[in-house]
């Protein structure tokens, strides 16, 4: 049985689209008939990703730089359909080692970027399109070193639900992931990466490690299903169900 591509004729912007979950979402969006516009900080990595996917455009800037974010959205000449936001990384440290300036930046970065993108979306995203923001399931349970990400994990779904009312009929949704096997995870874990993969294969209810393609599949579903808004969708292979 053949089917129509889910995103035929649509335009997907991926803020953080040159690696990991963002790149995989862009790849899948292309396969579903969308044009993609990719952003990221490293211009060379961005160029390589854009070339591989045949992206309709790229822009190199730090998504937490609000001036640069404004400039990016203002120069978009055509309406867009979806914005997937994967830029960013977690900040965690035990209380005694927490850098307060770094913590202050991290507390503000993701929510402020969400609000800024939502403001732009109101004028640029077609009705029925969605913003999709990344969050996590790992800090739902309190743990030493998680003060910043626990706060963000709790707050981001509430912010997304509020924004979903504010910019309707544009939709706003969140994906909460557990461990995903990406370049970010490789950087964070270093030589512990293989041991972590092994542990997850042994312990996760799904018996395998979650990859960026699992998250990308969910992102495309959220984009194409226009009934979904204000919601947070978990994709963690059951990681949050495990005793710590
Ligand atoms: N991997 C996981 O296990 C996991 C779990 C839960 C949530 N998440 C969240 O999901 C998101 C994506 O994770 P990932 O594992 O796919 O990361 P990744 O492999 O590091 O890829 C991140 C992408 O975003 C870009 N990026 C990062 N910071 C940026 C910034 N400030 N401005 C613009 N672009 C930026 C990167 O390119 P440049 O570096 O060149 O800018 C890259 O294209 C992150 O927010 C992460 O915290 C990840």
Provide the residue range defining the domain that includes 91.
Answer: 11-236
Write out pLDDT tens, residues 135-188: 999 999 999 999 999 999 999 999 999 999 999 999 999 999 999 999 999 999
Type and span of the H or E element at 195:
helix 193-203
Query: Is the CB of residue 117 below 6 angstroms from any atom belonging to ligand 1?
Result: no
Both structure tokens of 229: 């808004």
Both structure tokens of 32: 């579903």
Secondary structure class of 229 (helix, strand, coil): coil
Query: Is the CB of residue 150 below 6 angstroms from any atom belonging to ligand 1?
Result: no
Write out pLDDT tens, residues 193-233: 999 999 999 999 999 999 999 999 999 999 999 999 999 99
64 falls within a domain: yes
Return the residue whose CA atom lies nearest to atom 19 of ligand 1: 20
* pLDDT tier, 122 (very low <50, low <70, confident <90, very high otherwise): confident
4 falls within a domain: no
Mean pLDDT score, 88-117: 97
3 falls within a domain: no
Write out pLDDT tens, residues 57-97: 999 999 999 999 999 999 999 999 999 999 999 999 999 99
242 falls within a domain: no
* Number of domains into which the chain is organized: 1
Q: What is the chain's Cα-based Rg?
A: 17
Give pLDDT, residue 10. Answer: 98
Give pLDDT, residue 2. Answer: 82
218 falls within a domain: yes
6 falls within a domain: no
Asked whether residue 244 carries a pLDDT value surpassing 90, the answer given is no
Q: Which of 26, 65, 85, 89 to mutate to test the pocket of ligand 1 (most atoms within 8 A of CB)?
A: 89
Instruction: Supply the CATH number for residue 202's domain.
Output: 3.40.50.720
């Amino acid at each position: 049985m053949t089917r129509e591509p889910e995103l035929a004729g649509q335009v997907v912007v991926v803020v953080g689209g040159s690696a990991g979950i963002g790149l995989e979402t862009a790849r899948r969006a292309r396969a579903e008939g969308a044009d993609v516009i990719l952003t990221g900080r490293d211009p060379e990595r961005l160029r390589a990703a854009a070339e591989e996917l045949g992206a309709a455009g790229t822009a190199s800037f730090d998504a937490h730089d609000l001036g640069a974010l404004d400039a990016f959205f203002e120069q978009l000449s055509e309406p867009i359909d979806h914005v997937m936001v994967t830029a960013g990384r977690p900040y965690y440290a035990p209380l005694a080692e927490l850098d307060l300036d770094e913590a202050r930046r991290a507390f503000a970065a993701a929510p402020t970027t969400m609000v800024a993108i939502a403001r732009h979306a109101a004028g640029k995203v077609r009705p029925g399109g969605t913003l999709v923001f990344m969050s996590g399931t790992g800090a739902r349970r309190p743990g030493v070193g998680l003060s910043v990400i626990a706060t963000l994990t709790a707050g981001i779904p509430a912010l997304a639900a509020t924004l979903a009312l504010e910019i309707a009929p544009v939709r706003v949704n969140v994906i909460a992931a557990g461990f995903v096997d990406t370049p970010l995870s490789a950087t964070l874990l270093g030589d512990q990466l293989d041991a972590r993969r092994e542990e997850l294969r042994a312990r996760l209810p799904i018996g395998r490690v979650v990859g960026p393609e699992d998250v990308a599949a969910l992102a495309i579903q959220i984009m194409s299903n226009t009934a979904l808004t204000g919601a947070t969708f978990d994709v963690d292979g059951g990681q949050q169900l495990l005793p710590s």
